Amino acid sequence: MTVLKDFVIDWLVSYGQVAVIISILLNVVISVLGIVPSVFLTAANLTVFGLWPGMAVSFAGEAIGAVVSFVLYRKGFRKAVEWKAMNHPKIIQLLEARGKEAFTLILALRILPFMPSGVVTFVAAVGKSPLLLFVLASSIGKLPAILIEGYSVHQLIQWTWEGKLVATVMAVLLLLWCRRKLRTP
């Protein structure tokens, strides 16, 4: 990750004022690919833009990337998906979810800071979730996830043990809360 992060940092720095747009576009590409973690880009954004501006750029990139991915996945994969191939109970629940249930599931899955965003986006896109509901739930859920990820990455960059401890405790508590929420009907 360090080599990739350093490459992106050098790249963003060399582009100066358009670095924000480049970072957002990189996030869109990462979102569409669906399997590449964005933590290296968050680390690069924090290094290049600073803590709060870096988190804002990461949030904007992930939110825009989620919308672009949702639209592309819905157009390209919705008809091709074999519903029976997705047999995990929460996946099936999200595939069939509508309204408040879909909103809650997307929100809960987005809050998890290291949950693969591509999976959540893909399942929501091929399921019955409307775009506006997805955008709202995804963006609201991604905000705390970016704050946790950004803070954790920032503390790792600064290499403070206090930050690592606080981030670990917060992540465990959040995971336990989300797990309990997902188990409740």
Report percent pLDDT > 90 for the chain. Answer: 33
- Give pLDDT, residue 182: 76
- Give pLDDT, residue 166: 67
Handedness of CA 111, 112, 118, 120 (dihedral sign): negative
Region of 159 (left: φ > 0; alpha: ψ -120 to 50; beta: rest) is left
Among 52-61, 122-131, 154-163, whose mean pLDDT is lowest?
154-163
> In angstroms, rounded to a whole number, what is the distance separating the alpha carbons of residues 90 and 103?
13
> In angstroms, rounded to a whole number, what is the distance separating the alpha carbons of residues 145 and 174?
10
Report the b/e string of 92-117 with b at 16+ CB within 10 A: ebbbebeeeebbbbbbbbbbbbebeb
CA–chain centroid gap for 139, Å, is 9
Residue 29 or 127, more confident: 29
What contacts 6, CB < 8 A, 6 or more positions away?
Answer: none
Helix-, strand-, coil-residue percentages of the chain, each rounded to 5: 85, 0, 15
pTM for the structure as a whole: 0.76
Tokens of 170: 């917060």
- Give pLDDT, residue 177: 79
pLDDT tens digit string along 43-83? Answer: 899 999 999 999 999 999 999 999 999 999 988 876 555 54
